[in-house]
Amino acid sequence: MDSYAEQIVKKVDNGSDNLKRAACLIGGIVAGLVIIVLSMKLHIAIIGALLGVGAFYGGLYLGTNYDIEYEYLVVNGEIDIDKILAKKRRKKLITIRTGDFTEFGRYSEEVKSGDETFIWAVGTSPEEPQTFYGDFEHPTYGKCRLLFSPSVKVLREIKTGLKPSLRNNVGELPPEEE
């Protein structure tokens, strides 16, 4: 029987994301107005109006790149993590077998890190209690550490595919809800 669990985690906006989003929108508006005014002075108003509207939509498009969600998909012991931008564009972050984890557990400041590549797929800050980490060896990136915030259902599916020595690091999970 196939095992399957999926979860969407919305990245919580911080002040930096809001500032970048506002800068893109304001930049698009200002660039659009400047293009329109300059085109009127050069007597090419129709072309300038089109370019000005294009600059405005360009700023709007860039501003939506800060609406980020992560999708965790666990199927038969394999985790796929995708990054979704503005609910339109999707980018695959990583695919890893749960049996390939060399370390797995709740993430905290006490967890030692070395020279591994970090893969962030966390909705909130990594210090939150629901943040987990998984260390693994990737053929392209070398040593990697995945930081993510799985739900109980996703964590239950991951736990079944982990090596027996790592299953205790997950801890007790609440009973499955119908």
Please state, for a pLDDT cut of 70, what percent of the chain lies above it.
93
Is residue 74 assigned to a domain?
Answer: no
Whether residue 140 is contained in a domain is answered as no
Q: Is residue 42 part of a domain?
A: yes
Contact 72, 121 (CB under 8 A): yes
Q: Is residue 31 part of a domain?
A: yes
Q: Of the given ranges (72-76, 119-123, 146-150), which has the lowest mean pLDDT?
A: 119-123
Mean pLDDT, residues 32-39 taken together: 85
Q: What is the pLDDT of residue 162?
A: 87
Task: Write the CA distances from 86 to 45, 63, 149, 165, 175, integer angstroms.
Answer: 32, 9, 20, 39, 34
The mean pLDDT of 21-28, rounded to a whole number, is 88
Domain assignment present for 120: no
Residue 59 lies in a domain: yes
Compute the distance between CA of residue 85 and CA of residue 54 in angstroms, rounded to an integer.
Answer: 21
Q: Is the pTM of this model over 0.95?
A: no
User: For residue 54, is it within any domain?
Assistant: yes
What confidence category does residue 178 fall into, taking pLDDT thresholds of 50, 70 and 90? very low
Q: Whole domain around residue 37: which residue ranges?
A: 15-65
Whether 117 is in a domain gets the answer: no
Number of domains, the chain? 1
CA 32 to chain centre: 31
